Amino acid sequence: MTTVQWLETPCRQGVSWGVPWPRGTVAEGTSFALADGTPVQSWTTASWPDGSIKWSAHAIGRSERPESSYELVAGTPTAPDRPVQVDQIDGEVRVTVGEVSWLLRSPQLIASIVYNGEEVVREVRLVSLRQSAPDEDLGCARQQTTAIVDNLVVEQDGPIRAVVRLEGKHGDWLPFSVRLYFYAGATDVRVVHSFVWDGDPDRDFLAGLGLSADVVMRDEPHNRHIRLAGPSGFLTEAVRGLTGLRRDPGEDVRRTQVAGRAVEDIPNPEVSERLHLIPQWNDYTLDQSSADGFTLRKRTAPGHAWVTIPAGTRSPGYGYVGGVSGGLGFGLRDFWKLHPTRLDIRNAAGDVATATVWMWSPSAPAMDLRYWHDGMDQDSYAEQLEGLEITYEDYEPGFGNAHGIARTHELSLRVHDTTPTADELAEHAALLNSPGLLSVSPARLLEAGVFGSWSLPTADDQDIEARLNFLFQYYVGQREQRRWYGFWDYGDVMHTYDRDRHTWRYDIGGYAWDNSELSPDLWLWYQYLRTGRADVFRFAEAMTRHTGEVDVHHLGRWKGLGSRHNVQHWGCSCKQVRISNAIYRRFYYYLTTDERTGDLLDELATIEEMFLAVDPQRKVRPDVYSPDPHALSVELGVDWGALAAAWLTRWERHGDERARARLVGTMADIAALHYGFLTGNARLDLSTGRFDTSRRAISVSHLSSLFGLPEICSELIDLDLDVPGFEKAWLDYCRLYLLTPEQQAAEVGQALQGISLVQAHSRLAAYAAARTGDAELARLAWRKFFVDEGDQLNRNAMQRETEWKTTPVDGALMPVDEAAFISTNGAAQYALAAIQNLSLIPEHRNDRGGMAWNKSQRSPDAPS
């Protein structure tokens, strides 16, 4: 039925992935198999309105020789030789895969891991350190806590893939959820840990957050091995080293120990009789304090000095502790990118060693989430709006609280029956940081008819394709040069550039972290859909992990709402669904089946109720208004677009009739409004999920269509939900926005006010032109896309001397290449307009009313 291939190189570990299907082609309940007989487990993640499968999910286990591609067909899947087995008894869960057995029970995550009948690991647990004041306050004591699991749920029980969710708290705060993923044939478990910050920023300071595991040590000290990953290899040591001694144990002994094999005999008595005089190295630490460097140290025992080891730059975040009779590999994905992080090995010379992966390193200053300024006396809305005028920050007392933000980390624990080889360790570290993923081709994604209006790149549009590539590569380079890394920051990009200081405006109010402003998430995902490029996928993946977790409040007074752009991700008082928007997460969920992203989508099931908690327009309302459950003010652009995405996703994932009714009902209500989308806003009755359709006014915002509204409307119209008038209401908005004031007045009685972001809105005109066949409107769309009208990213694109390129900057803090004309608003909206215009009206791109255009003109710096 369809072919799937690896996103990157074929990998041997177990993997899950998603496949879309054209509407009506795959019936509900269809069984799937792989044509070559590889065992596969399948389930449905979304359905079309007719009940047919829209997205299916699949998993295969570990394979010694994975195929370069697989053919997914309808049929009965082959049963695995050694399936994942899940047994639940008296609150305990035992997962067995071949020779490995994991016992899960409260209060730990994993009580024990047994390999070939021998216990290798015991008490896998979450640990944290908390203090009541920041580090600069003297006398600040740290409190260490072991997290308690109070809920355990088996979400999948094999035969290829098992998933167990565990929930609890880190002491009396920091709610967490952990998912453990097991695959047939694998000796590793993937650990996805998500926590929500619920402390008081003035009194609670997280000083350490980690995952610890106790490893049983049975071998002689010289047959116990330590491995810690550097950028190109591993620190390769034994607890009791036999190399470099004054007396030589023999080349075979030295080679054997370094290779991690058992040293059975030491023929030189000058060594064998003095083993007790060789120091045993008990403790090791690798500390990644920044994106640029880690330090290493070791000691023989507590109470003795640490000995430093040569340091390095960027560690992959993987290690091993154990011996020739077994041990544990452990690691954290994106280790250096999520700094400050740390790997610890303790008591390696004892009977039980402890390995800890620190997601927040205890060596770093305690996490400080206090607000970044004192408010500067902005106590009234009037004063706050004045502040907005100068620093673009939407400040409000109390709204900069980080309460409810979250972060997800991906970790790996892999048990061994002997010390792994250097090649095996390198493979495991690489798989940790670039997990395998299978996917259908861009052409096959397009054929399925998912995600609205987009198309594949063509040879006829190399000028635009070069610019799309230039923009992506520029942000990749800026992330590296500007070091957009760190625990809370990795995955986001900055909003606006400061050409005078040759830096992004990291310290200027609303110009700093972007927080999904004007949909860079959508740009990246659509660029991936149409190209299938792994580098684009990984960039979009990191952004989705960040924006879905850090930029959104997951509990408390703003639960389900996101925060507008700010110096701190959570700092803005504008808490809106435009940031928590489901449309930004759906791509990753459907392509990967990631259950954590599914949780984030589920958090939005009744997101409309949050309009009772926060009025997004409270500071600028010309009318008297207070939130009323029977008359909630909802903006028909950024608000309804996000609600529609949440309702659609809920309906297609879970068959939720409440969500369907609210989606279809409000679509009908927008169609019934006298001016449709031009009305600007309407009042929603929470009890019925319907709008009041009596409003007869026109109110247009330049932002209404820039947070996923065109994309979700395109999907809804493609679904053909039998809502008379909805398509016309949307096409009227798309058609009128860029017409002349005289044309607008002739149709609706007045010129539209607030028209801006012209290039971004060219895709709306393109959509209306494509649906109606209006060639003149199509020509208008391309003119508005190409011709500089002041608020777009063309820089007089028809002139070769102003083509896009970067300029090296000397004298800045770090060597950088800048393109000072680029802002993230412009980049994201240029890309979305380009992608959709090329999809909708490609035949008109060189027909714009006599305006010449040379497609061969493009920057030599921009690869095709």
Helices then strands, each counted (H, E), the chain: 18, 37
Give the whole-angstrom CA distance, residue 731 versus residue 357. 53
Range from 64-68, 228-232, 289-293, 620-624 carrying the lowest mean pLDDT: 620-624
Contacts of 369 (CB under 8 A, 6+ apart): 197, 199, 201, 402, 570
Res 852: pLDDT: 36
The predicted-structure confidence for 322-375, as pLDDT tens digits, reads as follows: 999 999 999 999 999 999 999 999 999 999 999 999 999 999 999 999 999 999
For the record, the structure tokens of 293 come out as 């460097």
Given a cut of 50, whether residue 175 has pLDDT beyond it is: yes
Containing 654, the helix (H) or strand (E) segment is: helix 638-654
Average confidence (pLDDT) over 287-301? 98
Given a cut of 80, whether residue 172 has pLDDT beyond it is: yes
Confidence of residue 804 (pLDDT cuts 50, 70, 90): confident
Res 140: pLDDT: 80
Give the whole-angstrom CA distance, residue 350 versus residue 321. 12
Containing 433, the helix (H) or strand (E) segment is: helix 422-433
Residue 529 located in a structural domain:
yes
Containing 102, the helix (H) or strand (E) segment is: strand 100-104
Give the whole-angstrom CA distance, residue 653 versus residue 596. 14
* 8 Å CB contact between 648 and 663: yes
Amino acid at 447: E
Res 799: pLDDT: 41
Nearest of 146, 31, 152 to residue 91 by alpha carbon: 152
Res 859: pLDDT: 33
Give the whole-angstrom CA distance, residue 689 versus residue 62. 47
For the record, the structure tokens of 743 come out as 């044309």
* 8 Å CB contact between 708 and 581: yes
Residue 99 located in a structural domain:
no
Amino acid at 290: S
Residue ranges in 517-635 assigned as alpha helix (H): 520-531, 534-549, 586-592, 595-602
The predicted-structure confidence for 583-605, as pLDDT tens digits, reads as follows: 999 999 999 999 999 999 999 99
Residue 708 located in a structural domain:
yes
By CB neighbour count within 10 A (0-12 exposed, 13-18 middle, 19+ buried), where does 631 fall?
middle
The predicted-structure confidence for 681-724, as pLDDT tens digits, reads as follows: 999 999 999 999 999 999 999 999 999 999 999 999 999 999 99
Confidence of residue 60 (pLDDT cuts 50, 70, 90): very high
CATH number at residue 775: 1.50.10
The predicted-structure confidence for 624-676, as pLDDT tens digits, reads as follows: 899 999 999 999 999 999 999 999 999 999 999 999 999 999 999 999 999 99
**822 to each of 650, 704, 827, how far by Cα in Å?**
36, 22, 6
Residue 647 located in a structural domain:
yes
Residue 293 located in a structural domain:
no
Given a cut of 90, whether residue 295 has pLDDT beyond it is: yes
Share of the chain above pLDDT 90, in %: 93
Nearest of 678, 781, 784, 689 to residue 733 by alpha carbon: 678
Distance between alpha carbon 259 and the CA centroid of its chain, in Å?
A: 37
The predicted-structure confidence for 433-446, as pLDDT tens digits, reads as follows: 999 999 999 999 99
Give the whole-angstrom CA distance, residue 644 versus residue 256. 63
SS3 527: helix
pTM over 0.75: yes
Contacts of 508 (CB under 8 A, 6+ apart): 391, 392, 393, 496, 498, 567
Q: Give long-range contacts, CB 8 A cutoff, 24+ apart: 522-526.
A: 522/583, 522/584, 522/708, 522/711, 522/828, 522/832, 523/827, 523/828, 523/831, 523/832, 523/835, 524/472, 525/451, 525/587, 525/588, 526/451, 526/454, 526/831, 526/832, 526/835
Give the whole-angstrom CA distance, residue 149 versus residue 178. 9
Give the whole-angstrom CA distance, residue 750 versus residue 741. 8
User: Per the structure, how many domains does the chain have?
Assistant: 1
Mean pLDDT of the chain: 95
Average confidence (pLDDT) over 738-748? 97
Residue 191 located in a structural domain:
no
By CB neighbour count within 10 A (0-12 exposed, 13-18 middle, 19+ buried), where does 427 fall?
middle
Confidence of residue 1 (pLDDT cuts 50, 70, 90): confident
Residue 862 located in a structural domain:
no
Amino acid at 69: S
SS3 301: coil
* 8 Å CB contact between 731 and 747: no
Q: Which residues form the domain of 470?
A: 451-844
Q: How far apart are the first and last CA of the chain?
A: 33
Given a cut of 90, whether residue 22 has pLDDT beyond it is: yes
Residue 338 located in a structural domain:
no
